[in-house]
Amino acid sequence: MLELQRLAKRAFNQEPSKSPYTFCNITKTIEQAERIALIGASGQGKSTLLRTISLLNMPDEGEMSFDGVAFREVGPRNWRKQICYVAQQAVMLPGSVEANLTISSKLHGRSFDLKLAERLLQTAGLSGLDLKKNARDLSGGEMQRIALIRALLLRPKVLLLDEITASLDTVNTKAVEQLLAQWHADEGTTMLWVTHELEQVTRTCERVWFMSGNTIMEDSLATAFFTRPSTDAGRTFIGHHVSEEVQP
Ligand SMILES: Nc1ncnc2c1ncn2[C@@H]1O[C@H](COP(=O)(O)OP(=O)(O)OP(=O)(O)O)[C@@H](O)[C@H]1O
Ligand SMILES: [Mg+2]
């Protein structure tokens, strides 16, 4: 169970007319195996919130604990063994695809599960990929899937997924969604998933956090949010998306 208490991150530029926070006052409990979609307009702080939860950025205020242990007691390195962020812009380490896949097991002192890696590559539509290839020569969509598989091989308890299908075509987007659905069924991993594809939310997550006004404005079942948002900001957000999708 992940607990966030009054979590806040101050904004870089403290303009008097604007909120001093990128996000603030986030108090939430996420139970094991929950799948939550984090949605909201561009620039609301979704990526910053995920990066803060994974301690790639330190929170400026508030507390976080995982299974009852506060983040300050654990330290970022051990925290990130359990709570893993998969970035919006996939970062490949120097070297081959294989080196990128084996690195996390080396760092965490675990043996590399080749069978699992091959199964994940196949399910993600990457079975033909030459593992000796330089990882930085991959396409954006290939990098995103390798970064996801690299994270899964760590078997984290919580996955923080940041627009991980943004560079993928429909077929591969569906392949990644299925891979994660199966992973969730097998491992019971908790997922907090940022996406701008609202149809993806209903396919993949049961719960929605809608970010607006520098905080989580709505927290509801996905079906409830999409049929009847409870705030004006939520209604406007959905209205924009519906009208965009209806336009030719
Ligand atoms: N470490 C940080 N501390 C405070 N603010 C930050 C930090 N990193 C980024 N920001 C600010 O947070 C704001 C929101 O950026 P963020 O990338 O989190 O938005 P987002 O909701 O993920 O947007 P998008 O949907 O376009 O990806 C930006 O104005 C950015 O400058
Ligand atoms: Mg983002």
Q: Is 46 in the pocket of ligand 1 (CB under 6 A)?
A: yes
Mutate which of 39, 47, 201 for ligand 1? The one with the most ligand atoms within 8 Å of its CB, which is 47
Closest ligand by atom to 38 CA: 1
pLDDT class for 245, splitting at 50, 70, 90? low
Q: Is residue 69 part of a domain?
A: yes
56-77, pLDDT tens digit by residue?
999 999 999 999 999 999 999 9
CATH code at 148? 3.40.50.300
Q: Are strands 2-10 and 21-30 parallel, antiparallel or unpaired?
A: antiparallel
Q: Is residue 211 part of a domain?
A: yes
pLDDT at 246 over 70: no
* pLDDT recorded at residue 14: 72
175-200, pLDDT tens digit by residue?
999 999 999 999 999 999 999 999 99
CB 24 within 8 A of CB 42: no
Beta bridge partners of 161: 86, 193
Q: Is residue 75 part of a domain?
A: yes
Six-digit token string for 24: 């603030």
CB 147 within 8 A of CB 86: yes
For residues 227 and 116, what is the distance between their CA atoms, to the nearest angstrom? 39
pLDDT at 247 over 70: no
Atom 17 in ligand 1: residue holding the nearest Cα:
47
Q: Is residue 48 part of a domain?
A: yes
Q: Is residue 160 part of a domain?
A: yes
Q: Is residue 124 part of a domain?
A: yes
Q: Is 128 in the pocket of ligand 1 (CB under 6 A)?
A: no
* pLDDT recorded at residue 73: 96
* Stretch (H or E) spanning 53: helix 46-53
Atom 2 in ligand 1: residue holding the nearest Cα:
48
Q: Is residue 9 part of a domain?
A: no
* Nearest to 64, CA basis, from 138, 2, 140: 2
Q: How far apart are the first and last CA of the chain?
A: 44
9-45, pLDDT tens digit by residue?
999 877 777 888 999 999 999 999 999 999 999 999 9
Find the domain containing 41 and state its range.
30-246
Q: With 0-12 CB in 10 A as exposed, 13-18 as middle and 19+ as buried, what is 245?
A: exposed
CB 182 within 8 A of CB 123: yes
Q: Is 12 in the pocket of ligand 1 (CB under 6 A)?
A: yes
Mutate which of 48, 164, 201 for ligand 1? The one with the most ligand atoms within 8 Å of its CB, which is 48
Cα–ligand 2 centroid distance for 162 (angstroms): 7
Q: For residue 24, how many other CB atoms are within 10 A of its CB?
A: 20
* pLDDT recorded at residue 198: 94
Q: Is 9 in the pocket of ligand 1 (CB under 6 A)?
A: yes
* pLDDT recorded at residue 205: 98
**Number of folded domains in the chain?**
1
193-238, pLDDT tens digit by residue?
999 999 999 999 999 999 999 999 999 999 999 999 999 999 999 9
Q: Is residue 12 part of a domain?
A: no
Ion ligand 2 neighbours, Cβ < 5 Å: 47, 88
107-165, pLDDT tens digit by residue?
878 889 999 999 999 999 999 999 999 999 999 999 999 999 999 999 999 999 999 99
Q: Is 48 in the pocket of ligand 1 (CB under 6 A)?
A: yes
Atom number of ligand 1 nearest to Cα 88: 27
pLDDT class for 243, splitting at 50, 70, 90? low
Q: Is 65 in the pocket of ligand 1 (CB under 6 A)?
A: no
Q: Which residues, 6 or more positions from 239, have their beta carbon under 8 angstroms from its beta carbon? A: none
For residues 204 and 201, what is the distance between their CA atoms, to the nearest angstrom? 5
* pLDDT recorded at residue 106: 84
* pLDDT recorded at residue 104: 80
pLDDT at 101 over 50: yes
